[in-house]
């Protein structure tokens, strides 16, 4: 085998330009495939990051009234609202792949929020438990978070996000100040923000609206025990479940929704908990992207076919040129198998070199495309290994005919050729 490889390299080196032109089809095909696969993978990762966020893996499990998300701001439904029990909460927290869970009340839009004569129109107000910040990926930027005594003593305290603090206090420091929510005074004890800054790439107005269109004036958090002070008793809670991994989000969300729906009568089709499955949206968009780019892969594969035909052609020429050499080897006792494997090895080495050159060219091409078109890429190691392996297979497949021709030459006719 080593001798065959040495002879293959010797033959390639003795005809450098011819060998390069033969490999060119393989190089172009492999380079195209590597660059396309890298772009597909990079785009898929960007889609996942855009829709899921910076690795928080939190799934919203929200109450729906028919096809719309239930919001008490717009009036109560005629159906009976479910109440989440402690037993249901414990079941969700004990689910496989669940790191944490939080349960909260919410108002998607509130007008009655004031600091002195400054009002905040359209702010969101949530009544949250002690797990909310950790589950949703928030940290305290200034001041403190909620403590157990806030819940037990029904303290009227509030946390503001940066948008709410800016809306109400402008350039003032909010900590220790008192605001009014629905006519009730609440003391600002902390400012919270995201644990990891995530800035999505915005390419058009639709994407801007998707990420920021409903941001409103900001969000206020109250201890859930204070919720009945400003709003109604027995309102329905929603849940957010934090999965241990992105891949587990769908299963975790569906199982949590199933547990929450256990307390809802089966005949009730109006009110149901549903998991907002961002991962499913990601997968659908990734499939669409991969389907489109998959067609490009087939087109790029044609280059490999053309390259394989070129290899077969040049190997047939090589057999013709080396007819006397083959005849001499057979005359001194070389078997068919030895001749066959010699030419197969030469074809495989030729295409493997083309494959390696194609991989390098593909990585360079992918980076050039990324810089010029501002498209993310992710180099796929399995694709690189598969490409080199596939190029070797092409050499073997398309080298079979010339190799069989060489192995089956009659030694007497081969020696007479010259």
- Interval 349-374 mean pLDDT: 83
How confident is the model at residue 206, as a pLDDT? 46
β-strand pairing of 238-243 with 271-275? unpaired
3-state secondary structure of 93: helix
pLDDT at position 224 is 94
Output the pLDDT for position 201: 47
Q: pLDDT at position 292, please? A: 59
Given this model, what pLDDT does residue 363 score?
87
Q: Look at 22-31, 114-123, 198-207, 232-241 and tell me which has the smallest mean pLDDT.
A: 198-207
| Region 135-143 average pLDDT | 91
Query: How much is the pLDDT for 381?
Result: 79
Say what the pLDDT of residue 49 is. Answer: 60
Q: Tell which wins on pLDDT, 152 or 392.
A: 152
**Is 239's pLDDT higher than 90?**
yes
Residues 6 or more apart from 56 whose CB is under 8 A from it? 136, 137, 196, 242
Q: For residue 23, what pLDDT is reported?
A: 80
User: Which regions of 214-293 does DSSP assign to beta strands (E)?
Assistant: 219-223, 238-243, 271-275
Across the strands, what pairs with 181?
A: 113, 184
Q: What is the pLDDT of residues 240-259, one digit of tens each?
A: 999 888 778 888 999 999 99
Task: Identify the band that residue 21 occupies on the pLDDT scale cut at 50, 70 and 90.
Answer: confident
Residue 295: its pLDDT value, please?
64
In this prediction, residue 214 has a pLDDT band, given cuts at 50, 70 and 90, of very low
User: What's the whole-model pTM score?
Assistant: 0.59
The first and second tokens of residue 97, run together, are 């792949």
**Over residues 338-349, mean pLDDT:** 76
Pick from 391, 411, 383: nearest CA to 36: 383
The pLDDT confidence band at residue 47, using thresholds 50, 70 and 90, is low
How many CB atoms within 10 Å of residue 125? 24
- Residue 361 vs residue 305, higher pLDDT: 361
**Where is pLDDT greater, at 273 or 333?**
273
Q: Residues with Cβ < 8 Å from 314, sequence gap 6 or more?
A: 18, 19, 22, 350
Q: Are 388 and 352 in contact (CB under 8 A)?
A: yes
Reported as a pLDDT band with limits 50, 70 and 90, residue 202 is very low
**pLDDT of 17:** 81
Torsion of CA 271, 273, 279, 281, to 10 degrees: 0
Residue of 418 and 275 predicted with greater confidence:
275
User: What are the distances in angstroms from CA 192 to CA 113, 150, 285?
Assistant: 18, 17, 32
- Token pair 């438990």 is found at 129
Name the residue ranges covered by the structural domains of the chain.
2-49+284-416, 54-276
Residue 311 has pLDDT above 80, yes or no: no
CB within 8 Å of 228: residues ≥ 6 apart: none
Radius of gyration of the chain (CA): 34
Answer whether 124's CB lies under 8 Å from 106's CB.
yes
Going by pLDDT thresholds of 50, 70 and 90, the confidence category of residue 384 is: confident
CB 385 within 8 A of CB 338: no
Asked if residue 397 has pLDDT above 90, the reply is no
pLDDT tens digits, one per residue of 103-126? 999 887 777 889 988 888 778 899
Structure tokens at 104: 């909260």
Neighbour tally for 83: CB within 10 Å: 11
């Amino acid at each position: 085998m080593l001798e065959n490889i040495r002879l293959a390299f010797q033959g390639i080196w003795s005809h450098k330009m011819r060998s390069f032109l033969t490999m060119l089809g393989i190089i172009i095909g492999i380079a195209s495939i590597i660059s396309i696969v890298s772009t597909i993978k990079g785009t898929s990762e960007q889609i996942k990051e855009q829709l899921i966020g910076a690795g928080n893996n939190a799934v919203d499990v929200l109450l729906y009234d028919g096809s719309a998300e239930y919001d008490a701001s717009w009036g109560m439904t005629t159906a009976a609202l479910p109440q989440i029990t402690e037993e249901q909460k414990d079941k969700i927290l004990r689910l496989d792949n669940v790191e944490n869970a939080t349960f909260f009340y919410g108002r998607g839009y509130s007008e009655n929020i004031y600091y002195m004569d400054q009002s905040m129109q359209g702010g969101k107000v949530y009544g949250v438990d002690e797990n909310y910040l950790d589950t949703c990926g928030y940290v305290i930027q200034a001041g403190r978070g909620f403590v157990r005594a806030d819940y037990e003593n029904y303290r009227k305290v509030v946390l503001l996000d940066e948008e709410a603090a800016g809306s109400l206090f402008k350039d003032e420091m909010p900590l220790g100040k008192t605001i009014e929510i629905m006519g009730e005074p609440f003391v600002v004890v902390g400012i919270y923000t995201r644990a990891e800054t995530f800035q999505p790439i915005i390419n058009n107005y639709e994407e801007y609206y998707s990420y920021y269109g409903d941001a409103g004036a900001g969000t206020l958090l109250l201890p859930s025990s204070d919720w009945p002070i400003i709003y109604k008793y027995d309102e329905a809670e929603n849940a957010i479940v934090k999965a241990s991994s992105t891949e587990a989000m769908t299963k975790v969300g569906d199982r949590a929704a199933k547990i929450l729906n256990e307390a809802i009568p089966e005949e009730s089709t109006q009110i149901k908990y549903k998991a907002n499955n961002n991962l499913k949206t990601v997968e659908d968009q990734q499939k669409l992207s991969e389907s489109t780019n998959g067609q490009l892969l087939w087109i790029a594969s044609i280059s490999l076919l053309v390259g394989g035909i070129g290899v077969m052609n040049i190997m047939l020429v090589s057999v013709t040129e080396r007819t006397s050499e083959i005849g001499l080897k057979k005359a001194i006792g070389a078997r068919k198998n030895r001749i066959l494997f010699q030419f197969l090895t030469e074809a495989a080495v030729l295409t493997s070199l083309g494959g390696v050159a194609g991989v390098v060219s593909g990585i360079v091409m992918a980076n050039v495309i990324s810089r010029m078109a501002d498209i993310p890429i992710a180099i796929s190691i399995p694709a690189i290994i598969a490409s080199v392996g596939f190029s070797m297979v092409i050499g073997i497949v398309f080298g079979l005919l010339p190799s069989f021709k060489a192995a089956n030459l009659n030694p007497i006719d081969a020696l007479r050729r010259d």
